[in-house]
Amino acid sequence: MTDLGATTPASLPAPRRDWAALLLCPVLMAAALPLVGSASSWVTLTAAGLAMGMMIFLMASGLTLVFGLMDVINFGHGVFISIGAYAMLLVLGPLAGWAEADSLPLNLALLAVCIVVAMAVTAALGLVFERVIIRPVYRSHLKQILVTMGGMIVAEQAIHVVWGASPVAIRLPEAFRGAIVIGDAAVERYRVVAVAIGLVVFAGMSLVLNRTRLGLLIRAGVENPEMVEALGYRIRRLFVGVFVAGSALAGLGGVMWGFYRQTLTAGMGMEVMVLVFIVIIIGGLGSVGGCFVGSLLVALVANYVGFLAPKLALVSNILVMALVLAWRPQGLFPVARR
Amino acid sequence: MSEPILRLEGVETRIGPYHILHGVSFDVPAGELTLLLGRNGAGKTTTLRTIMGLWRASAGRVLFDGRDITALPTPDIARAGLAYVPESMAVFSDLTVRENMVLAARSGPLDSARLDWIFGLFPALRRFWQSRAGVLSGGQKQMLAIARGLAEPRRLLLVDEPTKGLAPAMVRNMVEAFRQVKAAGETILLVEQNFHAASALGDDVAVMDNGTVVHSGPMRALAADAALQQSLLGLSLDQHQ
Ligand SMILES: Nc1ncnc2c1ncn2[C@@H]1O[C@H](COP(=O)(O)OP(=O)(O)OP(=O)(O)O)[C@@H](O)[C@H]1O
Ligand SMILES: [Mg+2]
């Protein structure tokens, strides 16, 4: 990026951070400890919440950008999650030996290959979906909802045709099975993997959005696409790129989610879409940071509430959303728009 | 009399069911500052947006350097060498002042000598370089919007009402800044309601009313002719703030 060394004055106020929203999850975690009572249960619940949150983030992050940048509501996003998960089967069959091998490097390599294949398949599909389904319905939300829903139904049926209608069981690679025991607390290994991958993706997206010209263009385009064009940038290309990347991220989310459930169904993506929409609304439409915080918040609350007051578990997501929107009607990190 | 870099020939623009421009024709000579005047609602903003391709002309032609740009997509029009400073300023408020400038410099890193020149015109931008543009005052946003148009050399700068809402002292600074930009050899098409500021800057003038150009010629002639000003611009200048 541009280095402006000498011309940049030294004594500038740093940009203000929104501490209240950033501290939400840490405060929630701290507050849950006395409520849960036992440290070991707290560790298990927190790890489960963080892992769940990271997976939701992976599945939701692409959608929030697509909505923010081009004002397109894509109900078909869930199908990329399912297809990402099913795309693993292309790999898991031929490389079954890698999954059973008692070798962390080989298991990790398998996960990496699954991710690469799933992302490639969903990216290619995203390119087609954008061209055929989204492009004709710009600027009409109602048509977008109907048409992307239709696209989703067709794609789900296509999964049935290609891979069969019955659920498919898959096995986690050897090294990711079981739990790590720390004192009294048990943390499932796979959850550690999910958290690590979620953090890497979040860091990567933050880096691109904040430190590259491409990222600046995306953020500027979310706020004012017309001005981005008047500066001489072709926003259509930018949007296609973001749509493809968002689809690939959904595919990555599908891999992580599929391994977590260890059962694949054509509707698995659609099942999480309610949660996905809740977190992008909580986070502030178009905000990747908000999507990250929102995902963790929803997942942590779900886990704590599930333990403390199981009867409330079903409504906890909606409650979190209602509370956040009462506090900040535009979401945690509202994105400026025209 | 130099060659026109921009020429509008009978440009008509419709927005939805409304017929807004009814055949706008005028020239912008290279190396000069051309003013576009007219009452509120005369069609000045619509004209600039049509030049940029943000509204589509339904008839007529926009020629840039002799080339027909009427049907080009907005990014291609910008790439032909036009910079646009809209009435709404349209700074990216989530981005810092620096990031706004980085995007405006399409072809590569910001040139530090040019940046120093811009900081000389608008010192506040240096002070708020790393601040989010959203926290700037209205006047500072206006400076940033103009600075974006100057980030790299362009062939023609379109500026829509840069003094709108500015305090008198700020208007004087803005006029001075434009004087310097002009002295640097830039070609400018400027929409300006403040007649005093406008007459200090303009070489040529086109006056619009009701979606057409009703007068064009040298600024000096209009500035000297109070009766013509009255008949062309009427009360609008006094009304406008
Ligand atoms: N988006 C729009 N939809 C419908 N009518 C519009 C739109 N934009 C402008 N108009 C109309 O077009 C006419 C010209 O507007 P325009 O903004 O070009 O005027 P202007 O000369 O820039 O005025 P001002 O000095 O107040 O900025 C006005 O009557 C306005 O109501
Ligand atoms: Mg106007």
CA distance A58 to A246: 9
pLDDT exceeds cutoff 90 at A48: yes
Contact criterion met (CB < 8 Å) for A336 and B134: yes
Reported as a single tens digit per residue, the pLDDT across A219-232 is 999 889 999 999 99
- B52 in Cβ contact with B86 (< 8 Å): no
CA distance A307 to A290: 26
What secondary structure does DSSP assign to B60-83, as a single string? EEEEETTEE-TTS-HHHHHHTTEE
Tell me which of A4-18, B34-48, B70-84, B210-224 is least confident.
A4-18
pLDDT exceeds cutoff 60 at A1: no
pLDDT exceeds cutoff 70 at A10: no
| Amino acid at the residue A149 | M
Q: Going by CA atoms, what residue is nearest to atom 4 of ligand 1? A: B15
Q: How much is the pLDDT for A20?
A: 84
Residue with tokens 């600024």: B219
Q: Is B40 in the pocket of ligand 1 (CB under 6 A)?
A: yes
Which residues in B lie closer than 8 A to residue A335 (C-beta atoms)?
Answer: 94
Reported as a single tens digit per residue, the pLDDT across A173-194 is 988 998 998 888 889 999 999 9
Tell me which of A212-216, B86-90, B166-170, B187-191 is least confident.
B166-170
Q: Is B86 in the pocket of ligand 1 (CB under 6 A)?
A: no
Q: Which of A126-140, B26-40, B221-235 reaches the highest mean pLDDT?
A: B26-40
Q: How much is the pLDDT for A6?
A: 36
Which residues in A lie closer than 8 A to residue B95 (C-beta atoms)?
Answer: 216, 219-220
pLDDT band at A16 (very low <50, low <70, confident <90, very high): low
Q: C-alpha B90: how far from its chain's center?
A: 13
Beta strands B156-160 and B188-191 are parallel
**Hey, how many other C-beta atoms are within 10 angstroms of the C-beta on B89?**
23
- Give chain B's domains with CATH numbers: 4-81+154-240 (3.40.50.300), 89-149 (no CATH)
Residue with tokens 């004594």: A11
Reported as a single tens digit per residue, the pLDDT across A116-168 is 999 999 999 999 999 998 888 887 889 988 998 898 899 899 999 999 989 99
What secondary structure does DSSP assign to B184-234, as a single string? TT--EEEE---HHHHHHH-SEEEEEETTEEEEEEEHHHHHH-HHHHHHHHT
Q: Which of B24, B35, B39, B45 to mutate to test the pocket of ligand 1 (most atoms within 8 A of CB)?
A: B45
Q: How much is the pLDDT for B239?
A: 44
Rounded average pLDDT over A193-198: 95
Between B39 and B74, the more confident residue is B74
Predicted structure pTM score: 0.85
As for the ipTM of the complex, it is 0.92
Query: What are the structure tokens assigned to A184, written together?
Result: 């009294």
Q: How much is the pLDDT for A337?
A: 61
pLDDT band at B197 (very low <50, low <70, confident <90, very high): confident
Query: Residue ranges of the domains in chain A?
Result: 38-147+185-263
CA distance A196 to A237: 31
User: Exposed/middle/buried for A25, CB within 10 Å: 0-12, 13-18, 19+?
Assistant: buried
CA distance B197 to B24: 24
CA Rg value for chain B? 17
Contact criterion met (CB < 8 Å) for A217 and B126: no
Tell me which of A150-154, A322-326, B148-152, B195-199 is least confident.
B195-199
Distance from the Cα of A249 to chain B's closest Cα (Å) equals 24
Which residues in A lie closer than 8 A to residue B116 (C-beta atoms)?
Answer: 7
Q: How much is the pLDDT for B2?
A: 61
Rounded average pLDDT over B16-30: 95
Rounded average pLDDT over A287-291: 92
pLDDT exceeds cutoff 70 at B64: yes
Angle between helices A213-223 and A189-211 (to 10 degrees): 80
Q: How much is the pLDDT for A246?
A: 93
pLDDT band at B161 (very low <50, low <70, confident <90, very high): very high
pLDDT band at B188 (very low <50, low <70, confident <90, very high): very high
Instruction: Identify the helix (H) or strand (E) that includes residue A320.
Output: helix A316-327
Partner A contacted by B16 (CB < 8 A): no
Query: What are the structure tokens assigned to A49, written together?
Result: 């919440």
